[in-house]
Amino acid sequence: MDPNVRPETMERITTPELAQAFIDEQIAAVKEQVGDRKVLLALSGGVDSSVVAALLIKAIGDQLVCVHVNHGLLRKGEPEQVIQVFQEELGANLIYVDAVDRFLDKLAGVDDPETKRKIIGKEFIDVFAEEAGKLDGIEFLGQGTIYPDILESDGVKAHHNVGGLPEDLQFELVEPVKLLYKDEVRVVGKQLGLPDNMVYRQPFPGPGLGVRCVGAITRDRLEAVREADAIVREEIGKMDPVPWQYFVAIPDVKSTGIKDGKRHMGWAAVVRAINTVDAVTAQSVEIPWEMLCRIRDRIIAEVPGVNRVLWDVSDKPTSTIEWE
């Protein structure tokens, strides 16, 4: 039987009982695979890598070494949450790498979206490889591969894995959730005790806020994206039902505004909320007018440099989900 093919008889994990049975099964499998050796995991703080980290901690404890790279393109509070949950609450062997300046210096002046993605991806691999090279006794690489990744890309998870590591840092893979769908991963994460705002975190692109700070990234506009995004996530998160994805993009365009009785130039924050089943097509979600006005007022009052708030009502196609 192909280990990368989900058996037709495999029951979908929909309950805490089924999740616990899966966790117990994987703990035994990981212990058998790893023994007393060490596993290295790139912990982004996303759903998949977080669930894998929590599961591996239960299985092998401090034989797991987690590396969290803060490239400066994460959402507000995410690096702090990774440290709080994994290091302080779960006792993980966590290496935190502050690489903000390194990434943003490399991205300065780069406005082509694909070039930005390549820089971010390569720099992440370089940073992770450097940290891996400092460690002794690592023989395995943990990955948050899930079943759609295998179906869509032959097991290579673009943006999130570290499949581009140099040859001398290639390890045997440990992929405990590779036969699960995203909804099942969330049930397992909930059973493992991870916080809801981590388990039910909405999809987030691999290059992070780098594709929402449209055009050449500047530090001030990147911070505006981060702050505006936090407001939108807080407000739209109150909707029932909550949209599949919602965020802010800020293009590198300024327009005239008035503040304190004086004309000034400022950015426009673009609010986007969409629903989708497969991410191939997506539909714009109606945001209640009162909520939209509250978002507008908060962003303009609380986010320096923004003087307009726009609502993106485009569907996919023709618009993509992200702006870049």
Strand ranges of the sheet holding 38-42, from the earlier edge strand across to the other edge: 93-98, 64-70, 38-42, 138-142, 172-174
Six token digits for residue 311: 């609502």
In this prediction the pTM is 0.87
Cα gap 256→265, rounded to integer Å: 5
Burial 182-194 (b: 16+ CB within 10 A, else e): eebbbbbbbbbeb
* CB-based contacts of 280, cutoff 8 Å, min separation 6: 316
Domains of the chain: 16-199 (3.40.50.620), 212-312 (3.30.300.10)
101 in helix, strand or coil? Answer: helix
Contact by Cβ (8 Å): 157, 149: yes
Query: In angstroms, rounded to a whole number, what is the distance separating the alpha carbons of residues 178 and 198?
Result: 19
Torsion of CA 9, 35, 194, 129, to 10 degrees: -110
Structure tokens at 239: 């909707």
Q: How far is CA 85 from CA 196, 212, 237, in A?
A: 12, 26, 21
Element holding 139 (H helix, E strand): strand 138-142
Q: How do the pLDDT tens digits run along the chain, 324 residues long? A: 788 899 988 999 999 999 999 999 999 999 999 999 999 999 999 999 999 999 999 999 999 999 999 999 999 999 999 999 999 999 999 999 999 999 999 999 999 999 999 999 999 999 999 999 999 999 999 999 998 888 876 544 443 444 455 666 678 999 999 999 999 999 999 999 999 989 998 888 889 999 999 999 999 999 999 999 999 999 999 999 999 999 999 999 999 999 888 899 999 999 999 999 877 899 999 999 999 999 999 999 999 999 999 999 999 999 999 999
- Contact criterion met (CB below 8 Å) for 76 and 225: no
